Amino acid sequence: MDNEKVLDPTTSIVKEKAPDYQGPYVEVFLPELEGGDDGGMKVDQYEHVTLANEKKETIYRIHRGERVSVPVPVFIALKERYPKL
């Protein structure tokens, strides 16, 4: 029991997944969406980008209102949607 960790029955250890993308990243900023302040409704402040091919599908969530680093393929997809990015 020297190197073993004792865990209770409701705890599990999940191995951290290595990132799939190993290339360069680009920093982007998307402004927050207006609306939803009155009436109790909230506006989704995430931009969803899905990259897919025959082997896998990867979904990225870019938070609006703050600078975030995204992989180059995500930047290209965002640039098509927002030309002034």
Helix (H) / strand (E) containing 81? helix 72-81
**Could you tell me the two tokens for 56?**
């896998």
Q: Over the chain, what is the mean pLDDT? A: 83
CA separation for the pair 50, 63 (Å, rounded) = 14
> Model confidence over 40-81: pLDDT tens digits?
678 888 999 999 889 889 999 999 999 999 999 999 999 999
Cα separation values, 19 from 23, 35, 40, 58, Å:
10, 35, 37, 11
Q: What pLDDT is stored for residue 2 in this prediction?
A: 44
Compare 35 and 3 and report the one with higher pLDDT.
35
pLDDT digits (tens, 9 = 90+) for 22-45: 889 999 999 988 875 666 678 888
pTM: 0.69
CA 33 to chain centre: 17
